[in-house]
Structure 1
Amino acid sequence: MLRWGWLLLAGLSGGLWADESVRVCHGYGCNFQVAVRYTEGQLGQIRRMLLAATDAATERSVLAVAIGRLYGWAGEQSDIHNDRGGNYADDNVSGKMDCIDHSTSTTRLLHLLARRGYLRWHRVLETDSRNFAGIVPVHWSAVIEEKRDDEHRRFVIDSWFVDNGQPAVILPLDEWKKGAGPDV
Structure 2
Amino acid sequence: MIPRIRPAVAGMALAAGLAAGPVQADEQVLICYNYGCLVEAEARFSEAQLAEVAARLLRADSAVAERAIVAQVLGQLYRWAGEQLPISADRPGDYLDFGENGMMDCIDHATSTTRLLLMLEERGLLRFHAVDPIRRRVRWLVAQHFSAVLRERGTDDAPGEEARFAVDTWFGEHGDPAVVLPLEDWLDGEGPDVS
* Fold match by TM threshold 0.5: yes
State the 1:163 CA deviation. 1.0
1:61-72 matches, cutoff 5 A = 61-72=68-79
Instruction: Please give the per-residue CA displacement for 1:95-135, whole angstroms capped at 9, x wherever unaligned.
Output: 000000000000000000001010000000000010125x6
From the superposition, tell whether residues 54 and 138 of structure 1 become closer, same or farther in structure 2 (CA, over 3 Å).
same
Aligned counterpart, 1:159:
169
Aligned counterpart, 2:93:
86
- The residue type equivalent to 1:165 in the other structure is G
CA–CA separation in structure 2 for the residues paired with 1:23 and 1:114: 16
Structure 1 unaligned blocks of 5 or more: none
CA–CA separation in structure 1 for the residues paired with 2:85 and 2:160: 42
Aligned counterpart, 1:49:
56
CA–CA separation in structure 1 for the residues paired with 2:19 and 2:115: 29
Q: CA RMSD in A?
A: 1.6
The alignment status of 1:146 with 2:155, answered yes or no, reads no
CA–CA separation in structure 2 for the residues paired with 1:6 and 1:48: 25
CA–CA separation in structure 1 for the residues paired with 2:102 and 2:116: 18
Asked if the contact 1:129/1:137 (under 8 Å) is kept, the reply is: no
- The residue type equivalent to 1:72 in the other structure is R
Aligned counterpart, 1:97:
104
Specify the structure having the higher radius of gyration (Cα): 2
- The residue type equivalent to 2:46 in the other structure is T
From the superposition, tell whether residues 53 and 7 of structure 1 become closer, same or farther in structure 2 (CA, over 3 Å).
closer
From the superposition, tell whether residues 90 and 120 of structure 1 become closer, same or farther in structure 2 (CA, over 3 Å).
same
Structure 2 unaligned blocks of 5 or more: 1-7
Moved over 2 A (4+): 1-10
Instruction: Please give the per-residue CA displacement for 1:34-66, whole angstroms capped at 9, x wherever unaligned.
Output: 100001111111101100011000000000000
CA–CA separation in structure 1 for the residues paired with 2:94 and 2:142: 18
Aligned counterpart, 1:13:
22
CA–CA separation in structure 2 for the residues paired with 1:50 and 1:136: 38
- The residue type equivalent to 1:175 in the other structure is D
- The residue type equivalent to 1:157 in the other structure is V
Aligned counterpart, 1:37:
44
CA–CA separation in structure 2 for the residues paired with 1:136 and 1:153: 27
CA–CA separation in structure 1 for the residues paired with 2:187 and 2:118: 23
Look up the SS of the partner of 2:55 in the other structure: helix
Percent identity (aligned): 46
The alignment status of 1:128 with 2:138, answered yes or no, reads no
Q: TM-score, normalised by structure 1?
A: 0.92
CA–CA separation in structure 1 for the residues paired with 2:17 and 2:173: 45
State the 1:137 CA deviation. 6.5
**Structure showing the higher helix proportion among its residues:** 1
